[in-house]
Structure 1
């Protein structure tokens, strides 16, 4: 039985990049899918899957993980009320998980514009037509709104709705989990007191 940890004590952003690259090579669908957990002012949590759209040391105050959303959705309202969240990547084919926790900050308008207009035109229209998380009497109403926008903007980019934006999670904790035989799993947790501080790390019991 291997006596040493398989998770090195390296910079966690660099280690994430390695694991993410391996996930992109092995996962059949959406290796950038991650669970995003938020909580409302009453501390009631909710979780949903979103897509990672940027990451690395150049994001946020001290490196971060980026996703985009409708800020008037349930998750957007919870984020605006409580600018902290957790992320979870689960790559089943690699038998790995990464948990990430920390404060959030909103991206700039220029960054939100750039990403919104990098999306396929149909996705731009679908987002602009959606009152995300709000009750929908029937699907036809939504599709009618999509058709109306297609008619209004027959070509080119769609203006980004002001409530469609992005957030950067600047982690204070990143935990790497690797499955091992007999559930003797390998876990290493990196922590720092603020997004500009140096990382410390420790192994955790599985």
Structure 2
């Protein structure tokens, strides 16, 4: 059995990419504001390495505000068709401007323009208002590269706990927990 949680994550994600029918990199992101009230939403994993797990967002969004107030998060990957899930908990840090620029440049042009047009998580009076803003951005950047908006960047979840869950018959599931221990990891099993 693999004893490095990052290598095990790579194996499970590779399997999900091959087998999961939709968005194998989709993960639930749980945050909490300064008041401690939790919220959760689906986002896409856009990078991972031994430092952590990266996603991008509008910094003025609800999640951006919650992460600014309480710099901790939890992630959940659930691959129903594979009967597996991975839970990750830890502090967050912003990605570097260079990382954010590089990822933003890799996005499709419509997604780039949408990032400029959207005031993510803010009230919207009508869909036509957003569509008009999108068209304004399309005209503004016509014939030019679309730069990353200043309010758009990414976060890295720095894992402190990683749990791998395998479904088993009769709800006798297998749960392996890795906990950050200095420069390494300690490993144990949890009752289902």
TM-score, length basis structure 2: 0.98
Three-state SS of the structure 2 residue aligned to 1:117 is helix
Q: Deviations over 1:26-74 (max 9, x none)?
A: 11110000000000001000000000000012xxxxx200000001000
Match of 1:139 among 107, 127, 136: 127
Contact 1:129 1:145 (C-alpha < 8 Å) held by counterparts: yes
Q: Which residue number in structure 2 is paired with residue 108 of structure 1? A: 96
Give the CA deviation at 1:9.
4.9
Contact 1:174 1:190 (C-alpha < 8 Å) held by counterparts: yes
Find the aligned partners of 1:177 and 1:152 in 2 and give their Cα distance: 48
1:121-200 to structure 2, matched below 5 A, reads 121-193=109-181, 197-200=183-186
| Matching of residue 201 in structure 1 with residue 187 in structure 2 | yes
Give the CA deviation at 1:154.
1.3
Give the CA deviation at 1:117.
1.1
1:35-50 to structure 2, matched below 5 A, reads 35-50=28-43
Give the CA deviation at 1:179.
0.2
Q: Which residue number in structure 2 is paired with residue 11 of structure 1? A: 4
Find the aligned partners of 1:86 and 1:156 in 2 and give their Cα distance: 38
Contact 1:98 1:177 (C-alpha < 8 Å) held by counterparts: yes
Q: Which residue number in structure 2 is paired with residue 27 of structure 1? A: 20
Find the aligned partners of 2:145 and 2:57 in 1 and give their Cα distance: 18
Find the aligned partners of 2:186 and 2:144 in 1 and give their Cα distance: 48
Find the aligned partners of 2:80 and 2:145 in 1 and give their Cα distance: 37
Q: Give me the CA root mean square deviation.
A: 0.9
Three-state SS of the structure 2 residue aligned to 1:133 is coil
User: Mind listing any 5+ residue stretches in structure 2 that lack a counterpart?
Assistant: none
User: Mind listing any 5+ residue stretches in structure 1 that lack a counterpart?
Assistant: 1-7, 58-62
Contact 1:70 1:163 (C-alpha < 8 Å) held by counterparts: yes
Q: Greater CA deviation, 40-49 or 154-163?
A: 154-163
| Matching of residue 99 in structure 1 with residue 92 in structure 2 | no
More strand by share: 2
TM-score, length basis structure 1: 0.91
Q: Which residue number in structure 2 is paired with residue 5 of structure 1? A: none
Q: Which residue number in structure 1 is paired with residue 66 of structure 2? A: 78
Give the CA deviation at 1:205.
0.3
